[in-house]
Amino acid sequence: PPALSVRDLRKTYDNGVEALKGISLDVHPGDFHALLGPNGAGKSTLIGIVSSLVNKTSGEVNVFGVDLHAHRDQAMRLIGLVPQELNFNMFEKPRDILVNYAGFYGIPRAQALVRAEEELRRAQLWDKAQMMSRTLSGGMKRRLMIARAMMTRPRLLILDEPTAGVDIEIRRDMWKTLREINAAGTTIILTTHYLEEAENLCRHLAIIDRGVIVEQGPMRTLLAKL
């Protein structure tokens, strides 16, 4: 089955805003997929529904063949989410943040310690493992968010504008981490409003505007059209 299958997904917020007007999307296992679109297009709403933070109005979402509505917990175990805002405790150390997060998901401590080292290394943060997180740079904090999401070994990693507002060098370091995660087999979906980012990282692209997908397909095909 697809890593993510979305069928005729609609979302109307209580205030009457139609954020999604019938979105259909398939993401293949192993893919690196971008959702590109301007502010207000509906990207956050879409990934909010996929990650169970937002209730859909209608439509269907399947994660590796698991119906998100019927089997929410089972589907959520397959997903890792990196939200836009930094939401870890700035007064904890990176290693503790990762190990505590794993503990919350029932991962035995010995295993959590091994994984924390793996993820901190992959995020180029191992030498910062014992520092106060508050003292990390902006880019390091963003990579810590990614490392934390990977602690549960999700098959699908979803990132909401992971590089919004960060400068180009920091973005490149994040891209390196994300490429390594994808190369190791995790399917990745990210939202962005930088075409350059989608172009650099992703194999498939969906362009969203005002709640509808206006273009979708392999990156190369779409770039030729744009």
Place of tokens 């089955």: 1
* 22 part of the interface to ligand ADP, by CB under 6 A: no
Q: Which is nearer to ligand ADP, 38 or 138 (CB)?
A: 38
Encoding tokens for residue 136? 């990390």
CB of 35 to ligand ADP, least distance (A): 8
For residue 97, which of 89, 86, 105, 107 has the smallest C-alpha distance? 89
User: Under DSSP, is residue 213 helix (H, G, I), strand (E, B) or coil?
Assistant: strand
- Which one-letter DSSP state was computed for residue 160? E
CA 55 to chain CA mean position, Å: 18
* 15 part of the interface to ligand ADP, by CB under 6 A: yes
* 31 part of the interface to ligand ADP, by CB under 6 A: yes
Residue selected from 7, 21, 24, 30 as contacting ligand ADP according to rule CB under 6 A: 30
Encoding tokens for residue 54? 């937002």
Q: Which is nearer to ligand ADP, 119 or 160 (CB)?
A: 160
First to last CA, the chain: 30
Residue selected from 7, 93, 153, 203 as contacting ligand ADP according to rule CB under 6 A: 203
CB of 33 to ligand ADP, least distance (A): 8
Q: Is the dihedral of CA 170, 159, 205, 44 positive or negative?
A: negative
Interacting residues of 43 by C-beta distance below 8 A, sequence separation 6+: 35, 37, 160, 161, 191, 208
The one-letter code for the residue type at 107 is I
CB of 15 to ligand ADP, least distance (A): 5
CA 17 to chain CA mean position, Å: 24
Residue selected from 1, 8, 17, 109 as contacting ligand ADP according to rule CB under 6 A: 17
Residue selected from 4, 5, 42, 147 as contacting ligand ADP according to rule CB under 6 A: 42
CB of 104 to ligand ADP, least distance (A): 26
Q: Which is nearer to ligand ADP, 177 or 192 (CB)?
A: 192
Span 44-73, contacts to ligand ADP by CB under 6 A = 44-45
User: Which spans of this chain sit near ligand ADP (rule: CB under 6 A)?
Assistant: 13, 15, 17, 19, 28-31, 37, 39-45, 203, 218
